[in-house]
């Protein structure tokens, strides 16, 4: 008889582990998962460690680092790792941990739920089953498992606040889906581990995510420079269109010339920023603005935070954003 795969479950709180309190749903201890785990133990050898007990809106870069350190230390002893996490910031955490753990050789799967496990119709048990199946697959990488689908952590975006199909894989195929055939993995969608496993946990919190709006004051770029920001991710219009009239271009130029790395993504979720199409984009490229291409805003921001945390220069960061590290970007040949 084949041995059961040994899976580590790290709990961090979130809706999946919530119960009703006097002021609404509150994260509880990992013990709230006991009933769901009893069934899963028929198929897997499970170790549970309560790492955090937080609403995911309170999970910050310090918690990303804690999760990454725990995963790196535990990975050699387990076949895979499941991390339960609140849905609101799961895409940020999964993307950040992806960059913090280059060369990862084991499956690390984030999951959560839209309804607490204490609710009769919770989606939590199904999401846990999918996450554990992916964690036992032996396929290396950081993933998000939700609503019978598995996606790369650096491609996941929360697109719905209450529907069970909360997450979608943006600009990338799903890594796996659940069907009558079980967990069906698309190995062509999997990243290739780069080198030996490493823990590179340092991130910079001096990165600002800016959504471009018509008439946005260019003074924002001077203000961000004065506030000490070292990176800006701009969600621009369409293919990367931005206001470059008047002081708009001067504000961006001032930011870049002061050493700030400026990355442009698009507000169009299912597309790519291409600054080479229109004259306004060409003007930005000439200033040294970096194309985010088809990266999600979550991936662009965490990749920039991570790059700055590795003390990369502005030129090194620009070169890094031309590379696909873990499936986060489609690089043209």
Active site residues: 15
Using alpha carbons only, how large is the chain's radius of gyration in Å? 20
Residue 74 burial class via C-beta count within 10 angstroms: exposed 0-12, middle 13-18, buried 19 and up:
middle
């Amino acid at each position: 008889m084949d041995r059961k795969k040994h899976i580590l479950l790290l709990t961090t709180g979130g809706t999946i582990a919530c119960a009703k309190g006097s002021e609404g749903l509150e994260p509880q201890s990992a013990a709230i998962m006991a009933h769901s785990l009893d069934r899963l133990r028929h198929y897997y050898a499970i170790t549970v460690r309560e790492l955090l007990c937080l609403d995911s809106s309170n999970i910050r870069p310090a918690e990303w680092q804690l999760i990454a350190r725990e995963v790196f230390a535990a990975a050699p002893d387990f076949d895979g790792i499941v991390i339960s996490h609140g849905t609101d910031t799961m895409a940020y955490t999964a993307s950040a941990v992806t960059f913090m753990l280059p060369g990862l050789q084991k499956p690390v799967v984030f999951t959560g739920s839209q309804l607490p496990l204490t609710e009769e119709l919770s989606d939590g048990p199904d999401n846990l089953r999918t996450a554990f199946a992916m964690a036992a697959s032996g396929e290396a990488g950081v993933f998000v498992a939700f609503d019978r689908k598995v996606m790369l952590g650096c491609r996941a975006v929360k697109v719905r606040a209450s529907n069970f199909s909360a997450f979608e894989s943006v600009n990338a195929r799903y890594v796996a889906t659940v069907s009558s055939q079980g967990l069906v993995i698309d190995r062509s969608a999997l990243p290739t581990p780069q080198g030996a496993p490493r823990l590179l946990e340092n991130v910079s919190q001096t990165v600002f995510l800016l959504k471009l709006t018509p008439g946005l004051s260019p003074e924002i770029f001077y203000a961000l420079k004065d506030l000490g920001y070292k990176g800006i991710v701009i969600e621009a219009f369409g293919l990367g269109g931005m206001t470059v009239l008047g002081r708009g271009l001067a504000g961006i130029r001032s930011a870049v010339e002061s050493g700030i790395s400026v990355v442009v993504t698009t507000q169009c979720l299912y597309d790519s920023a291409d600054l080479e199409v229109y004259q306004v984009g060409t003007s930005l490229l000439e200033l040294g603005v970096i194309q985010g291409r088809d990266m999600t805003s979550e991936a662009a921001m965490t990749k920039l935070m991570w790059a700055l945390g590795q003390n990369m220069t502005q030129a090194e960061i620009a070169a890094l954003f031309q590379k696909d590290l873990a499936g986060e970007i489609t690089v043209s040949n």
